Structures are given as structure tokens and as C-alpha cells.
Amino acid sequence: MESKILQIAGDASFRKFYRIILKKKSKIIVIAEKEKYKNLIAYSSINKFLKKNRIYTPELYTHNFSKGLIVIEDFGNTSFYKEINKKKNKLLVYKRLVDLLLKIQKIKPKSKIPNIAGGHHLVEKYSNKYLFQESDLFFDWYLPLFLSKKRALNIKIKSKKILQKLYNNLNFPNSCFVHRDYHAQNLMKVGKKIGIIDSQDALIGNPTYDLLSLIDDVRIKTSTKLKSQIYKYFLKKTLKIYRDNSNKFLEDLNTLSVQRSLKIIGIFSRLFKRDKKNRYLKFIPYTWQLLESRMKGEIFLELKKILDINIPKKIRRKIIKK
């Protein structure tokens, strides 16, 4: 059998992916045109760290960082996004993903891990610096699609003061490994195992973040009931300190879900405006619904008011024209 090289679907990053098939084996070639450190070195280093802690990540076969490529293990095409969509009992699937998350959160996080390029990779904390960098995307890329730059800037200035209070009042410290994109499309079904991909952005962060990424997945519309069941299952099996302070835990989850939804709306808008990638626009209306559902507590009254005044629902529910 001759070898084949097939380009496979990419993601929202600057990477390209190819599947090389030789006999009955296949491998993935990852080519990074930009952000080579993050997409190649950080990615490979974090994968190695997770693998050392018995989390199934792609093995690195070979690399050529100067040319911007790595060759890694092929996890196939079956993500848990497909599994969830085809299963009637979705909760059973989510329980497996929560169990894996609980296992990841038992890992003792390290601020420095061996860098496969010969040094160390710094795993930073999910500080306010990062939280603001992400939520700023909403104001910098989404609002200017339909508001003047001056008005968008004014909303950003007012909102950042409100968000500052929310971020400062998070109850739990940045104390556990956070994948930072823990959703069904990054969790692969590999035989009976669950493989994790896209771990290059990992940080040390809040224990609610990866959980809310799974529950409030913008690509999968789930009922309020199912979201609650997933949350309760996690809480039942997690550390006692989180159960004993469940109100504070939920408050953190809501705050960071709001932050993440702002980030995602901003990222999808940037992909459209800057990178000419239109396929993510369809997810923005549902992301707005998730954002609204998490802003029901008293702590969100100020933020909700400023968003309601400036962004009516007819805009939120409308898919941006390409």
C-alpha cells in the first residue's frame, strides 16, 4: 500500500493538519505558520506533562521546530461532540468526561515543566491579566461590528470597571491545572480511551473553568436540566471544600462562564473580521443565550444593565451577515 498524505479539517488557530497514512498506521503532521512556540513547543510540553500524569494525550514522534512542524499520534476523527449528539442518554457520556476532568484536577500543577526544546515551559496563573485580555475581545471585535468605535470604547471602559470587581471577587484561588478549552470537540474517542487535544493554552486556574467549558459548550445546545445534572455530578465527586462552599463555587462558575462567553463572542467576531473565517458566526446567538443565563445573580446587575441598554436582543439573536 502506498503512503498517502491528506489534509484534514483545521480549527480556529493558525495551524494546518495533515494525516499521513503508511500501511495500516497513520500519524498527524501539525504545521504552525504563526505562534510556533505555543502551537508546537508549548503544546508538546504540556502533552508530555499530562501523559506523565496518566492522561491520554498525543505522543510526539518527531519535530522540526525551525520549519514549524511536529508529527504526533493520530487520535482519529471521532470526538465526543459526535458521541454526545448521537446518544440518547447524554448524561452518561458527560459523566465520563467529568470523571476525566476530576482526574486532571488531582494533578499537582507546576509553574515550570520541562520544555521539549531543551528548557522549561512556564505554566502561568490565570490572572486578571489573562481574564481581561480575553473579555476585551468582546469590546474590541464584536461591538465595532455594529456600533461606532467611540461608543464601543465607552461601553468597554464602563464594563471593565464592573468586570474588575467580578474578577477580584472570585472565591477560589488559581490552584489547579486548567486545560482552558475543555469541550467535547477537544475530547476524542480512541477505542475505549478518551484522548485530549488542543492543550497548548493550559494555565493554573480556577477549579470551575474547565467544568463550565464542558457544560456551557457553545457548539452543543443542552437543556437547563442536563446542565444542572452535569454540575451536580461533578460537585458530588469533587473535593469536599467545593461541596461545603457550593454557593461560592457556583458564583465562580457563573462569573467565569460570563467571562468565557464574552471571550468567545469576541474570538468568533475576530475570526470573521480579521481572518475571513465565517463558519463560527452561527454560534454567536447561542453564546449570547449562555451569557444571559449566567447573569441572573445580583452580582451581575450592573453588567447586565449596561449590556441590555446597548445591545438589544434583536442584535444578539441575529447571525452576522458574511
Per residue of the chain (322 residues), what is the pLDDT tens digit? 467 788 887 666 778 999 998 877 899 999 998 889 999 999 999 999 999 999 999 999 999 988 999 999 999 999 999 999 998 999 999 999 999 999 999 999 999 999 888 889 999 999 999 999 999 999 999 999 999 999 999 999 999 999 999 999 999 999 999 999 999 999 999 999 999 999 999 999 999 999 999 999 999 999 999 999 999 999 999 999 999 999 999 999 999 999 999 999 999 999 999 988 899 999 999 999 999 999 999 999 999 999 999 999 999 998 876 5
Residue 23 resides in a domain: yes
Which runs of E-coded beta strand occur in 161-202?
A: 176-178, 187-190, 193-196
Give the angle subtended at the CA of 85 by the CAs of 228 and 102, to the nearest 5°: 50
Measured in whole angstroms, the distance separating CA 143 from the mean position of its chain's CA atoms is 22
CA distances from 144 to 91, 141, 269, 309 (A): 39, 6, 10, 16
Residue 322: inside a domain: no
Can you point out the beta strands (E) in 40-159? 60-64, 69-73, 112-114, 120-122
Spatial contact of 116 and 48, defined as CB atoms under 8 Å apart: yes
Residue range of the domain that includes 59 = 4-73
Same domain membership, residue 137 and residue 67: no
Are residues 112 and 192 located together in one domain of the fold? yes
- Name the domain count of the chain: 2
- The domain boundary, picked from 55, 73, 91, lies at 73
- Tens digit of each residue's pLDDT (9 = 90 or more) over 187-226: 999 999 999 999 999 999 999 999 999 999 999 999 999 9
pTM of the full predicted structure? 0.94
Structural contact between residues 98 and 215, judged by C-beta atoms closer than 8 angstroms: no
Q: Is the dihedral of CA 273, 276, 282, 283 positive or negative?
A: negative
